[in-house]
Each structure stands twice: as C-alpha cells, then as structure tokens.
Amino acid sequence: MSRKPKKGYFVKGQFVAEGSELDIELKRELKGGLEVSKSDLKRESAELQSLGEQLLGLRGDLFASLALPDKLVDALKDAARITDFEGRRRQMQFIGKLMRQLEDATLQAVRSAIDVQRLGSAEETAALHLAERWREKMVADDQALSQWIAEHPGTDVQQLRALVRQARKDAIAAAGAPAGQTPRHGRAWREIFQLIKEQRHD
C-alpha cells in the first residue's frame, strides 16, 4: 500500500514538512521573527490580566515590596472598590493593559511575590495536617504519645497526658451515640491540636 507523500520542501538537503515546528520556525525567520499571532497576543493579555487579579489578593508587605507604577497601584485600588460586575470587568481589562507596559523584571517580581504567598499557604496547610495526624496517633496509641514527648522535650507532659486521657474517654462516649448521629469530639480533642501547634511553632 503506497503512502501519501507529505507536502513540504527541502532546505539545504533537509525535507521540511508543511506545518511542522521547523516549517513554522523557518517562516518566522523569513519574516524577520516579528510576526506574533493574534492568539498569542490574546493569551498573553489574559495571563497578564489574571496576574493583575492576583495582585488584588496579595499581602500588604509583599505588595509594598513591588516597585509598581502609581497608575497601576491606583487602578488596583479602584478595582478593589468596584462591586458592579461589568464595571469590574472593564477595570480588570484596563489593569491588564497597564500590566503589559511593565518591564520583564517587574513582571517577574510580581510572579515571585505571588508564588511566595501561595507557597506560604501551602506550608501552613501542611503543618496543620501534620498536627492533625499527630493528634490522631497520640489518642490512638501510647507509643506515639511517648515518641512526641521524646521529640519535643518542652511539652507540658502532665497536661498532654491528661488531655489524651480525656480525648479517649470522649471518643468512647461518642462511639455510643445513636446511629446516624455524627460523633462529636470534645474540648480535649481541640486542646491537644492547639498544644501540638504551639509546641511545633516554638
């Protein structure tokens, strides 16, 4: 069975198929590399507008560290005050336009600040999950409780042991709750979590 020949051309003895990456690259070079497609521009504009929206939720200290033009800062303040959907949409388009005027170094600083805020939140969430796991292990097993005390010598051992004992009693009482009723944890359960968080922070 004969295969249909690909459309293309030869450059320095090498076959270039039409529509291939090499074909697109060669055509761009031929036109001086200045051609930017409308879809590329649209994509860049949407990305910068999204970056502008993220600036609205940026922490004050991170925002202050950015050397943003006054016009952009004022536009962001206005956007935060606008509640009308259409008005806010137009304001965000204007912010996107202002973002396009920023230098690459400033844009990179904006992206870095947003990453710092996002990664900080991820670390906090991970720390909370770790505290939850420790609490569950301690209430379920004395060995985990001993391990925690060995790893965190600053812990008030007497208080922690009393809280664990109470949490275990509460768990037994909750297990006897009527069918269909969600068992509720007592105060000791919450206090163990708080103690773990504080100890880990110290």
The tens digit of pLDDT for each residue in 100-159 reads: 888 888 888 888 888 888 877 677 778 888 888 999 999 999 999 899 989 988 888 999
CATH architecture of 38-102: Orthogonal Bundle (1.10)
Residues of the chain with CATH 1.10.60.30: 38-102, 126-201
The pLDDT confidence band at residue 178, using thresholds 50, 70 and 90, is low
pTM value > 0.75:
no
The string of pLDDT tens digits covering residues 99-110 is 888 888 888 888
The pLDDT assigned to 1 comes to 46
Decide if pLDDT at 171 tops 50: yes
* pLDDT for the residue 143: 92
What is the secondary structure of the chain as a DSSP string?
Answer: -PPPPPPEEEETTEEEETTSHHHHHHHHHHTTT----HHHHHHHHHHHHHHHHHHHTS-HHHHHTS---HHHHHHHHHHHH--SHHHHHHHHHHHHHHHHTS-HHHHHHHHHHHHHHHHHHHHHHHHHHHHHHHHHHHHH-HHHHHHHHHH-TTS-HHHHHHHHHHHHHHHHHHHTSPTTSPP---HHHHHHHHHHHHHHH-
Is the pLDDT assigned to residue 196 strictly greater than 80? yes
Please give the average per-residue pLDDT across 164-183, as a whole number: 73
**pLDDT of 159:** 92
CATH fold group of domain 126-201: Diphtheria Toxin Repressor; domain 2 (1.10.60)
Give the integer Cα–Cα distance in Å for 186 and 8.
74
Quick: pLDDT tens for 31-66. 554 445 667 667 777 888 888 888 888 888 888 888
Question: How far does Cα 51 stand from its chain's mean position?
Answer: 13
**200, pLDDT greater than 80:** no
pLDDT at 6: 65
Residue 91 scores a pLDDT above 60 = yes
